[in-house]
Amino acid sequence: NMNALVFVLLGYLLGSLPFAVIVSKAFGLADPRSFGSGNPGATNVLRSGNKLAALLTLVGDAAKGWLAIWLAGKWGGDSLGVAAAGIAAFFGHAFPVFLKFKGGKGVATALGVLAGFNGWLALICASVWLLVALVTRYSSLAALLAAVSAPVATAWLGSGKEALMAVTAMSVILILRHRDNIKRLLAGTEGRIGGKKQSD
Ligand code: G3P
């Protein structure tokens, strides 16, 4: 499938756009890789104290995942091409060509990809994230539980085996990229949303 290869490249380049770094620069904030968890993502941009910058990072990183899927569908991609575009965008966010392949953990981009597959899927996973975040104030724990729920919800909604494979792969990579967060959660040292400075 030649189309799938084009969509992979397109998704990867879109996913490589690091909105945490771009938005922080535009707002005159410190580079998110230089403080807090060091992660170029919305959660860490929020630690700068600028909520609008964090929101725009979330929206931008999610939009690029959604856009990769939407474009693949619009340009005639089959279910494999669409799924390939989505996983490529997620991969681009985690390993961006523009940041020497050191990217983010992929929570917002995964949400955008889920929205591209199925709006209900995104709504379910965003609800899991929000519920856990509201109760525990741990952004990472919310992401981990949403990541576990994503393949289950994809299978339940019957979104097709290509989407299920892409979502499962995303969740596995997302969880692996939260290794340090998992260690901190287990040690009780993970920073909470709106909490005091993180211990690392
Ligand atoms: O958005 C990623 C989130 O799950 C954790 O981010 O900065 O606390 O490592 P951070």
Q: What is the pLDDT of residue 167?
A: 98
pLDDT of 200 higher than 50? no
Cβ–Cβ under 8 Å, residues 82 and 6: no
d(CA 110, CA 146): 10
Q: What is the pLDDT of residue 195?
A: 82
Beta-carbon contacts of 28 under 8 Å, excluding residues fewer than 6 positions away, are none
Q: What is the pLDDT of residue 91?
A: 98
pLDDT tens string 118-168: 999 999 999 999 999 999 999 999 999 999 999 999 999 999 999 999 999
pLDDT of 188 higher than 80? yes
* Ligand 1 pocket, CB under 6 A: 36-37, 39, 41-44, 105, 107, 139-140, 143, 181
d(CA 112, CA 95): 17
CA 191 to ligand 1 center in whole angstroms: 9
Confidence of residue 17 (pLDDT cuts 50, 70, 90): very high
pLDDT tens string 49-91: 999 999 999 999 999 999 999 999 999 999 999 999 999 999 9
Residue percentage of the chain with pLDDT more than 70: 96
Q: Is the pTM of this model over 0.80?
A: yes
120: which 2 tokens?
Answer: 């209900």
46: which 2 tokens?
Answer: 């929020």
d(CA 189, CA 197): 11
pLDDT of 199 higher than 50? no
CA 54 to ligand 1 center in whole angstroms: 12
Name the closest-CA residue to atom 9, ligand 1: 37
Average pLDDT over residues 169-173: 98
Cβ–Cβ under 8 Å, residues 167 and 151: yes
